[in-house]
Structure 1
């Protein structure tokens, strides 16, 4: 059974058109479909052509949806597949769009991985381990990740790790030297720097502190903590007080000296 196109009208949405068959509204199509199939008034539409038009329109809408998603930033194939699925695009259409975008070079996981590595190198905040994990979560293949991470040379890794370590060291100025160093190491580990890389980074850093500053910090910290554990004449309270300061990074010799100096 065939029908005849009796009218084609533009929708309020740019690039969308309504198709009327035998005087009745039938279905909408995109401008691309209108052009590709050369639709016009009085053209006959059978069931097979209608099926093709609907499939082509679904593909066209999905393609535009994908392009809008890509307009904000690069995406991986896995991210695109998930995005289209979440927007109720059918599985067959999704795969067609993936093929189209890959052929058009809009989707390229290898280039995405390289761009991702370069960006993180410039931001100075992540080591190779974290970048590797994040790229795997985005669906990038292991070989493509390896090739991309080759851009992140040891010199840049140490330089970035050193910058991060200095920031952490400065932020922890209220802690004793030993704990400050631990915080730096933990932060580098969390950001994805390896043990060997951290060793190289530590060689670039000066963790020395002024003994007088360390003494003043102990004095300030102890004065705050002592209120919690009065009276210090009680052995249990005294031990808790020492442990609290030790957790802040002060050694027991300095703590004992402080107690002697503040025996009152």
Structure 2
């Protein structure tokens, strides 16, 4: 296959159009074309062409991941899932992860620290619920446990109290049985055990009863 022309795309200067025998054949990442010294007169045999297409696909996958990471940090598993949804083959996705890892764009431990910190600041939860979320997002059990031990308090009482206070308006005016059932269910869904939620509910009910 003899390349007859390599032209920068008008709408996307990051890619070039490659022509063979005067006819458009395929597009390619511009930096990859430069790296390959691809130009008029270049000869591409089938094996080389296959490798070029693979490397171009990996580049596209990396670019897609970088765009996603611009919104928030993500785990490798999350990124691989999104790449699969976009139609990338698994081997392309894993090669993209290798490149992103080497560039420092993905690190599951850093993601876990971000997630735990975010939950602590904006949506208080118990360790059980946070651990479940981390595992769902693809963080390994070992990494999740290490980060949680590093960042979460040993006593969840204050965290549960903050979570419960955020819901007090919702349960205002209810009787004790209703309050206990609904608040207890909420705290359980947030990952707090009854040994923590029980004292929290007794305190808040006493405060509410005292204000009545």
Q: TM-score w.r.t. structure 2 length?
A: 0.88
Structure 1 residue 34: Cα displacement = 1.0
Structure 1 residue 97: Cα displacement = 0.8
Structure 1 residue 200: Cα displacement = 4.9
The residue correspondences of 1:1-264 to structure 2 (distance < 5 A) are 3-11=1-9, 12-150=11-149, 151-155=151-155, 157-202=156-201, 204-205=203-204, 207=206, 209=209
Counterparts of 2:59 and 2:166, CA distance in 1: 49
SS of the residue corresponding to residue 166 of structure 2 reads helix
Alpha-carbon deviations, 1:202-230, whole Å to 9, x = none?
4654525259x5xxxxxxxxxxxxxxxxx
Counterparts of 1:107 and 1:57, CA distance in 2: 20
Whichever of the two has the greater Rg, that structure is 1
SS of the residue corresponding to residue 2 of structure 2 reads strand
Task: Give the number of the structure with larger relative contact order, counting CA–CA contacts within 8 Å between residues 6 or more apart.
Answer: 2
Alpha-carbon deviations, 1:98-151, whole Å to 9, x = none?
111122221211111111111100014321111111111111111111112111
Cα distance, 1:205–1:172 mapped onto 2, change above 3 Å: closer
In structure 2, the gaps of 5 or more residues are none
Cα distance, 1:204–1:105 mapped onto 2, change above 3 Å: farther
Cα RMSD (Å): 2.1
Structure 1 residue 4: Cα displacement = 2.6
SS of the residue corresponding to residue 58 of structure 1 reads helix
- Any conservation in 2 of the 1:4–1:45 contact (CA below 8 Å)? yes
Q: TM-score w.r.t. structure 1 length?
A: 0.72
In structure 1, the gaps of 5 or more residues are 214-264
SS of the residue corresponding to residue 45 of structure 1 reads coil
